[in-house]
Structure 1
Amino acid sequence: MKKPLLLWVGLLGLCPVVQAQTTPTAARVAPMASTPYAADFAEAYRRYPVIPRGVLEAVAFTQTHIRHIQPTEPASCTGMPLPVGVMGLVADGKGYFRENLRTVARLAEVSEEQIKTDPRSHILAYAAAYARLAAEQRLTAANPAEHRAVLVALSELPLAADAVNTFALDAHLYGVLSFLTRPENQLQYHFPNYQLDLPAFFGAGNYRVLSAGHTEVSGRGVQGGGQVFDPSSSTYSVVTSADYGPALTNMTTCNYSSRSGVAVTHYAIHTVQGTYAGCISWFKNCSASVSAHYVVRSSDGQVTQMVAESNKAWHIGSENPYTIGTEHEGYVDDASWYTTAMYSSSAALARDIVGSGYGISGLRTFYGAATTGTFSTGGCVKIKGHQHYPNQTHTDPGVNWNWEYFYKLVNNAPTVTTLSAASGTVYDSGGASGNYGDDVRQCQLIAPTGASSVSLTFSAFDLESNYDHLLVYNGANNQAPLIGKYSGTANPGTLTASSGKMFLELRSDCATTRPGFAASWTSNGGSTTSCPTDSYESNGTLATGAAIGVNVNNSAYICPAGDVDWYKFTSSSTNNNIKVTLTNLPFDYELELYNASGTLLYSSTNSGTTAETITYNGAPAAAYYVKVYGYNGATSNATAYTLRVSTQSVAWRAAATGETLALSSPTLDQPVVTITNPVEPGATAQLLVTNYEGPASIVLRDAHGQPVDAGTQVDIRAEQPVRFPLPTTLRRGVYVAAVQLRGRVEYVKLLVQ
């Protein structure tokens, strides 16, 4: 990456935000839905009003995700000191980290043992120490940005003048202060919007480096986010990254050695058992005798390189000579650290290593079950966890790392063969008579035209047991619900996909092939000529929407697959409370409400055959449009749905479970959009939206805010990434994906390189 980055969101005047991310193993990462220590934090603020509200939670989240770390927590494979308590204090700094547990105990006049063992005492002692330092400096609670010296004084990070440690301190401060800028945290933890100006706090150029996942470094200086780094106004500096362009580079001057001619053949995934900032600082400690090539931040996936890939980092004992290793911020016992941003960034790094000429195939990524112990996977699996290598005692990344999700992100552009006939036979890659090969990833989509369901019956099945697998999904891709994962010689029998589409994915390892499988499929509802007469057709667009009356039932079919029905009605000024219901559903149908200009107002996207309901109280007198369609191509030529638009002069009751109710006030759970970075022109990005289900449109804009494509329509499902294909004509640089969701627009940065 050799060009300065331009951030269009910044040009629009929107403050860059470090977004709370999600993972497949944690529904929401930051803020947590609740904390058992809320009463203790509240007591601390009552006792010590000099502390700005929210600061204690910000420190706790940055250090531990507001979790009381016990002395029994697994030790870090890096040897880094393990913090204790909710605030993440260090008792034994191992001659390198500051022992801030002792500092807090001294300032608060509380015993170290009590602070370590009792969460309430721990929080109140930290607060007492904080208040004492703040009072000495005559600070007030009005502006947390003025409390820099207190936050630094109570950190465990070394106060060393070298670039790495000053960067680590800035990264810690960035984590704390950016927590305070997020509206969802302000609502959850009941603290005010302090109007913090983080670019002014860190310096505009250096803020871009702290907040960007991709920073360009050269011998002449640092560029990121369209800014040039100024070392004279910062507490850290960075040097050239020769291996992974998007990584910040803080090369350690010790804790590595030559590979002595040993070739790189494997890539190891680690968990720090601590913070990003702490890990970066610890690797600079020449007495630690430990390092990794890269470190990944949880909140936004920022990557920092510590050791050149050509050198041997010291991260996995006897297996160091042939491995590249990456540490991930967090703790193995807390899934909330493994965010979507971290997974996406880590997978992008893995893809870069796959493409760097080492001969490591992305198909050799481990995708088995996450476990708590250690076991060696053998030499076939090249990208795997610390716990999967021989001669190891550490169990990271542990039971909370989602290997299947990571495998799909690393191998994010499979070739798919689509089979659209109403019936037929499907084989493994070896065909009807041959064995499948080694290192196979064969993806086949059975999608008969107009099918409401697909059944697949196996006549033969023989895969290498526990090493080669066939995964079958109920839908159009491998993000759909998993029907089953099959291996060995046990015949799966007959499998049925109720969506009308079935996705097959065969994965084989590097050795031992078998005869594979043969199976025949049939489908229901697959004839486009068998659809009943529908008096509303043709109403496949908003412009051709069929007029319907209010307070009457309307019946029609979704047939064939892909059929969309539009309807038009008018709301009056007196009966301006609208309720739209969709009932008698044979399959998973969806319901949407639009205004006359075609803007999506609300949608109801319950799963299965659950009725769909939209309630819009106080709607302006106007023409409205209703859209009905089948999810994932669901269709029926046997059962008609019932659509009813009801209006009345009084407001409808509050929404029941599963209903969509128009609200005038914002909810706590606003949609959060994330996307894989970086990507190449013509590639497919993975976009994930949390706290939202339903249709969305994506428009890609350049650094000047101008659209560069015609837009893409997608269907957002809970915790399921959607594929976003990019134009092949894109130039390298930074773009912004504008994602339209129910009348609101979310923006997310996309790096094309």
Structure 2
Amino acid sequence: MTAYRYLAGAAALAGLVAAGAIVATTASAQTEPAPPAGAVTRLAHEPTAADFTAAAREFAVPEPLLLAYSYALTRWQDHAGLPSAQGGYGPMHLTSPDAVAPSGRGGGRPDTVTTRLRSDPARNTLARAAGLVGQPASRLRTDLTQNVRGGAALLADEARRAGIRPGTLADWYPVVARLSGASGTTTLADDIFDTLRAGATDARLRLAAQPGTAAPRRLAVAGAGQAECPTDLTCTFVPAAYAWNNTADANDYGNYDPANRPADGNKIRYIVIHDTEGSFDGTVQWFQNPAAYTSAHYVIRSSDGAVTQMVRTKDVAWHAGNWNINAESIGIEHEGVAVDGATWYTDAMYRSSAKLVRYLSARYRIPLDRQHILGHDDVANDGNYTTSHWDPGPFWDWDRYFSLLRGGVEAQTAGKLVTIRPKFATNRPPLRYCDSSGCRDLPAQPTNAVLLRTEPRDDAPLLPDAQLGGGATNDIADWSDKAVAGRGYAVAGRTGDWTAIWYGGQKAWLHTADVRPAAGTTVRPKPGAQVPVFAAALPEPSEWPAGTPAGQPSTPPTMKAVYTISGDQRYQLADLQRAEYYYARFDDANVPLNHTMVVGAASYYRISFNHRYMYVRSSDVTVD
């Protein structure tokens, strides 16, 4: 969810509820038993090459196409017989309306996925495939050979229904486009053919690249209008409000700041992934209200992945709750509620978002890695650290998302760092959701985060954090003791099947099976130094030019250390950041030096500190 320009204000939150953009936060009772404390289920199941070869031969479907179709949908994973959030089973993602994942909280899950499956029999591909191969649907859910047969039969049957007799791989594109429409996405066919041309591989299966496959005829896209989007993505432009709320106050306006990035010195370095904490329509309406004091550059709808741009990428949206990050990032909202995440985060949404991020990455040269493609939960609130947000939450599948962004998970290299990488589908730690009415257990479900402990054993206490009032709970919103997929940390120790990482000034223990070795650069405190750790990298008050700032606050913002580090602690270095502040007030206020980049003399390193990226002065640390 986006945050107010400087702080996540209670008034803005109340307005969002009134506008219908936030769904009520009453938790539901647990709908299935959670595993015992500390237990994590780890299962993996894949089809074999023989399954694809036999099915391709039986139904006269090219084997490379069958492999690419499965890889694009599931990365060849069966997920231990469990359905996806969109109700899909097995490596061919055969969909059933009865399999849509349960809501974690109740009352917040969109009905669009289930309604779409039930209202259109063509979208119930599990039943259709079962009929084609003469097997009960229950068997196709769990028998990988029959599941692959079912997928091949669907492709062959779709070609027959369309009256198409494909002679080459490229001839199958309209068949795949018709069938992928049954999954509720218009971009899947393009992804499948991109996979065909690039190839794919994992430990057991290999799809050789088909570089000679002719570029398919892309699906027509309507409504691109003025939006800054790739040409093959459905986009519209609806401007967020830019208006004064109080003409007596140059700082009381909404909902973004005009700029000229990157030409004005605000380099666009990051993309921040959010969820809306409510409906798509309510969010779009709220960003058009200047009293919201919040905005994002893009909003993506859950049901079909449609994109609405609301702030030009050259301008500064108010989305991250951290002014350094706002000034140098693009914010993308995804319709959903973090505690119910998997039921909102649809295949269509993931694919549209990945296509948009690839476009923005190429345009602004933003690296496609977790140091630059951030969750809102990676960003520290620089006004009130304890109110830092935690969306898109633990049910956002970062590994799947980066597979769509890069065509595969990046190679791992041994080094002094590790990357958090649990098996998303089967990583199901016991989690709770707490609000003013109390705490309730959540259904066991795929999770991107692992719990951190004070000692290398499953019954050890969870990691505390005094800055957060103690922490050390399995509350989904308590980020003191949870490390998220894709984030990198320095190794602090190893024993048995446990690894310790430096996390927020402490040694934090987790299962070695949940990390992968990684290369990279670390920083460590200089000998004898107590190094302050900050939520932002700002110029000193004495470095501000005369005449700023105008309006409220009446003095330049200052930094206060949130933590200190010392001794042999080490942290992953993400990038070098100069001390800077983009000074902006409402244009019609005619304040002096409006839209000025204030730059300080000090430089800072942005480091992977705990659940958040934080800043240390470069002069205080040594780079290894």
TM class, shorter-length? 0.3 to 0.5
Q: Identify, as 1 or 2, the structure richer in strand.
A: 1
Give the greater-gyration-radius structure (CA). Answer: 1
Q: Which has the higher contact order (CA 8 A, sep 6+)?
A: 2
What TM-score comes out, normalization by structure 2 length?
0.39
